């Protein structure tokens, strides 16, 4: 097989081969661990590798010789309209254990299928019917057409935005349903979405401001940058083992999501609607006042906040009601989400122990864990948000106050 090794083709060959390897490893990992997110990420990395392929083979001399030239012309390696939907479904499968790829989801792939049909028509016309170049009379690969690149860019930008919106909804769900939301924000998904955005920004910057964008050789620098980002996503995604614990379904009303009790439960039978937007009315209904007393009494009596894995469902079961009622009452009665509400009790407990000089017997981390926090980072963030001071600064201020009395 012909392959001209040059600086340009060799560098892209390294990234292309690594992308294919990581795609295979992710697919193998998905089969071994029955992991849907890894399947989608495997597809994304494979599509990104194919995106680089025409430039690698172009510098390897494939556009100059037959039959390689026809392979480049008629095989649609760059599937730009597939990448965006794959990103979106990867985001859903990563954040939501209840996510299932349904028939209606195929609609997202309609533009990509239409493009494949267009390329098939080109092949049949040129190679089967006319036996000569008609669509390719200008000798330019259709994958490199500006309209197709722009369509791919807009598609990926759109799916980035809806993926970001899905992640925002996920954050609202976890802050309304668990008391350890900060541990479920998934630094990986944030980095991965940021990297995907950077890919689009790079393309736009090169397209708008690089004077030789249309030059095949000069365009190599963009593909080098893209390949580097692809390599980062592949290696980091393979090493990532994050698993979401919260199953939900977004309802037609954007202000609500359906929180599923169990990812294996039939959602139509057991799902509950949880209000995601905090209630900010000044007046509190008599019903909310009654529930405020019940909730506070339960937390103070049984000190449930000391459980680092406390959820909205736990409180609802203790009070013999459902999550919908508790979520609404906490939002309306305390003007905060469930996560912040429980953390406020934990902070009060920590402050009480500090004032009793418990920090002289054990570390601050030990005190925070005893009060229900499960990470130092979360504790420090919540403490400063509540008091305006870091734990160390608070201790210094407390020591000064106690020395004066």
Please check whether residue 274 is in contact with residue 177, taking contact to mean a CB–CB distance below 8 angstroms.
Answer: yes
Convert 29-41 to b/e letters by CB count within 10 Å (16 or more is b). Answer: bbeeeebbbbbbb
Residue 91: how many other CB atoms lie within 10 Å: 26
Q: Which fold has domain 284-404?
A: Arc Repressor Mutant, subunit A (1.10.10)
CA separation for the pair 320, 281 (Å, rounded)? 26
3-class SS letters over 204-255: HHHHHHCCCCCCCCCCHHHHHHHHHHHHHHHHHHHHCCCCCCCCEEECCCCC
> Distances from the Cα of 107 to the Cαs of 30, 103, 116, 201, 343, in angstroms?
24, 8, 15, 26, 42
Q: What is the pLDDT along the chain (405 residues), one digit of tens a residue?
A: 789 999 999 999 999 999 999 999 999 999 999 899 999 999 999 999 999 999 999 999 999 999 999 999 999 999 999 999 999 999 999 999 888 898 999 999 999 999 999 999 999 999 999 999 999 988 888 988 889 999 999 999 999 999 999 999 898 888 988 999 888 878 888 899 999 999 999 999 988 888 777 778 888 999 999 999 999 999 999 988 777 777 887 765 555 556 554 544 444 445 566 666 554 455 567 777 889 999 999 999 999 999 999 999 899 999 999 888 888 889 888 888 999 999 999 999 999 999 998 988 899 999 999 999 988 999 999 999 999 999 999 998 888 877 776
Choose which CATH entry (1.10.132, 1.10.10, 1.10.287, 1.20.1070) describes domain 7-243. Answer: 1.20.1070
User: Looking at the chain, which residues constitute the CATH 1.10.10.60 domain(s)?
Assistant: 284-404
pTM of the model: 0.87
């Amino acid at each position: 097989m012909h392959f001209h090794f040059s600086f340009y083709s060799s560098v892209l060959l390294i990234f292309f081969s690594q992308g294919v390897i990581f795609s295979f490893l992710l697919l193998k990992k998905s089969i071994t661990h029955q992991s849907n997110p890894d399947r989608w990420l495997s597809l994304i990395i494979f599509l990104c590798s194919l995106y680089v392929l025409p430039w690698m083979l172009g510098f390897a001399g494939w556009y100059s010789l037959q039959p390689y030239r026809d392979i480049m012309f008629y095989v649609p390696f760059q599937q730009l309209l597939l990448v965006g939907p794959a990103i979106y479904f990867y985001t859903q499968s990563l954040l939501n254990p209840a996510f299932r790829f349904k028939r209606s989801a195929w609609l997202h792939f309609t533009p990509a299928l239409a493009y494949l049909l267009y390329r098939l028509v080109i092949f049949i016309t040129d190679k089967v019917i006319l036996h000569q170049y008609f669509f390719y009379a200008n000798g330019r690969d259709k994958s490199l057409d500006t309209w197709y690149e722009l369509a791919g860019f807009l598609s990926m930008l759109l799916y980035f935005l809806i993926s970001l919106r899905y992640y925002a909804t996920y954050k609202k769900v976890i802050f309304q349903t668990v008391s350890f939301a900060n541990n479920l924000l998934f630094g990986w998904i944030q980095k991965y979405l940021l990297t995907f955005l950077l890919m689009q920004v790079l393309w736009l910057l090169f397209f708008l401001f690089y004077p030789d964008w249309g030059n095949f050789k000069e365009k190599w620098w963009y593909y080098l940058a893209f390949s580097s980002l692809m390599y980062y996503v592949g290696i980091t995604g393979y090493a990532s083992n994050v698993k979401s614990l919260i199953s939900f379904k977004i309802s037609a009303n954007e202000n609500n999501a359906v929180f599923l009790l169990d990812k294996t439960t039939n959602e139509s039978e057991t799902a509950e609607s949880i209000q995601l937007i905090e209630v900010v009315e000044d007046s509190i209904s008599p019903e909310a006042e009654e529930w405020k007393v019940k909730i506070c009494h339960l937390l103070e009596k049984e000190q449930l906040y000391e459980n680092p894995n406390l959820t909205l469902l736990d409180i609802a079961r203790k009070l013999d009601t459902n999550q919908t009622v508790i979520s609404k009452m906490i939002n309306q009665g305390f003007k905060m989400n469930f996560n912040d509400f429980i953390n406020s009790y934990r902070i009060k407990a920590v402050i009480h122990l500090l004032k009793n000089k418990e920090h002289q017997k054990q570390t601050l981390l030990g005190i925070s864990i005893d009060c229900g926090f499960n990470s130092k980072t979360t504790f420090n963030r919540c403490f400063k948000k509540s008091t305006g001071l870091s734990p160390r600064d608070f201790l210094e201020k407390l020591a000064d106050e106690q020395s004066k009395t």
